[in-house]
Structure 1
Amino acid sequence: MSTPATPLSLALSQRKSDERATPLTAFRMARRWWLEGRRLNLSLLAEELGVGRATLMRWVGNKDLLMGEILWSLYKGIYDQAIEKAKVDHPQKGIDFLGQIYNDVNIALINAKPMHDFLAAEPQWGLQLLTSNLSGLQKRLIDEWQALFEEEIKAGRINPEMDADSLAYYIIRIGEGAIYCDLICGRTPDPVRAAQAFRLLANGHTR
């Protein structure tokens, strides 16, 4: 007696060539490879997806931009979790709210194993992607923090001595120094000092 066919069994039995890859499929596969510690090779990725390399390049732009999307997906998840936690811990918001987000994000990135593995395997390229706008990551980080600062400044909860855009830029640079200083200058990552600098810039004092 034969087993009756179901929509799932029919879908699973389809040939790989019948499956349609999409830009989102490419991103998900590339992200999975990165999380597994594999190097990002666009030719191999295109082959695995069953599309031409030119098609993949049209979808993702280039290797730097694809890696930027992967890194942003990691950052954004960390930011969103930190913001939600800070809303619970500091419902009145203000400097303690912002400071907790900043510190939690920095600590999470220092402890992120995929990031450590990536930087250990490809330190020069990794730092270029993380500390420049080569991948578009920097602009997204600045936009994220600028929006947080603008809301707190408008509400009168913080009173920094510089505009929100400049403040976002400098606190990100300080965060990079705290997170990646082992690669940049051989120092031990120190989120505590970064948190103190954050308070000085964002509100003019450390407490």
Structure 2
Amino acid sequence: MGGDAGATRRVMSREQVVRGGCRFFLRHHTIDMERLAAGLAISRATLYRVVRSRDVLLADVLWLLGERTLTQARRERRSTGADGVLEVTRLFVDRLRESAPFRAFLLAEPDTATRVLFHASCGVHRRVVSAQKEILLEARAAEEPSAALDQIAFLYVRIVESEVYAELLGGEPVDRALAERATRAVLPG
């Protein structure tokens, strides 16, 4: 009998791979596709077939971990209106800064981080803007038409990204109080 005659093909869903990617990222502060595939007991070819590319997987992993953090910040919010929106942002940003895996990834792979976090093909930025729009709506901080609210959420997120990722983007650190004044200025009302 040949070595592959009794082998069964392991089927993995995208969700299973992303969850495995999250566990790997939290332990190793990166994603190594070969090691992840081995840890999931699938081939690299299967891994790539499921997720398309390392960047796309990283985007899904970072979004899932970020979404969990954002959900927690939203639950802990005590203020309403613009103050509630800013409170969620402060809680979220503080947790991002405290995340050793995330900080290590940004320092070790700044080009990859820039691509994954900001490039349209990976979708992290789009998902963050969508989540910010929901935060604006639930905080009742905006009575704007949907198209205007999309733009407000986009601008708000770009200001926050400028604060959080200033050094990654080749600049000097942005003063937090200044960034908060700028985000407050973007908020309606």
Q: Deviations for 1:48-96, whole angstroms, at most 9, x for unmatched residues?
A: 333232321222222111111110122111111111111xx22xx2111
Instruction: Say if 1:116 and 1:188 are closer, same or farther in 2 by CA, change over 3 A.
Output: same
Separation in structure 2 between the aligned mates of residue 48 and residue 104 of structure 1, nearest angstrom: 33
Q: Match of 1:115?
A: 102
Q: Does 1:84 align with 2:75?
A: yes
Q: Does 1:68 align with 2:59?
A: yes
Contact 2:24 2:36 in 1 (8 A): no
Q: Deviations for 1:137-170, whole angstroms, at most 9, x for unmatched residues?
A: 1111111111232455xx5x54679811001111
Q: Deviations for 1:107-145, whole angstroms, at most 9, x for unmatched residues?
A: 222222111100111111111211222321111111111
Q: Match of 2:187?
A: 202
Gaps of 5+ in 2: 1-6
Specify the code of the residue in structure 2 equivalent to 1:111.
E
Aligned-residue Cα RMSD (Å) equals 2.6
Shift of 1:34: 1.3
Shift of 1:105: 1.5
Specify the code of the residue in structure 2 equivalent to 1:124.
D
Which one of 189, 193, 203 corresponds to residue 178 of structure 2? 193
Instruction: Say if 1:105 and 1:160 are closer, same or farther in 2 by CA, change over 3 A.
Output: farther
Alignment of 1:33-112 (within 5 A): 33-86=24-77, 89-90=78-79, 93-112=80-99
Contact 1:21 1:50 in 2 (8 A): no
Separation in structure 1 between the aligned mates of residue 157 and residue 41 of structure 2, nearest angstrom: 39
Alignment of 1:137-148 (within 5 A): 137-148=124-135
* Larger mean Cα displacement after TM superposition, 187-196 or 17-26: 17-26
Separation in structure 2 between the aligned mates of residue 55 and residue 147 of structure 1, nearest angstrom: 35
Runs of 4+ with >3 A deviation: 17-21, 157-162
Specify the code of the residue in structure 2 equivalent to 1:195.
E
Contact 2:120 2:126 in 1 (8 A): yes
Larger radius of gyration, structure 1 or 2?
A: 1
Separation in structure 1 between the aligned mates of residue 39 and residue 82 of structure 2, nearest angstrom: 48
Contact 2:59 2:124 in 1 (8 A): yes
What is the SS of the residue equivalent to 2:165?
Answer: helix
Which one of 158, 161, 177 corresponds to residue 176 of structure 1? 161
Alignment of 1:122-141 (within 5 A): 122-141=109-128
- Report the TM-score when normalising by structure 2: 0.82
* Larger mean Cα displacement after TM superposition, 44-53 or 120-129: 44-53
Separation in structure 2 between the aligned mates of residue 184 and residue 80 of structure 1, nearest angstrom: 26
Separation in structure 2 between the aligned mates of residue 38 and residue 164 of structure 1, nearest angstrom: 34
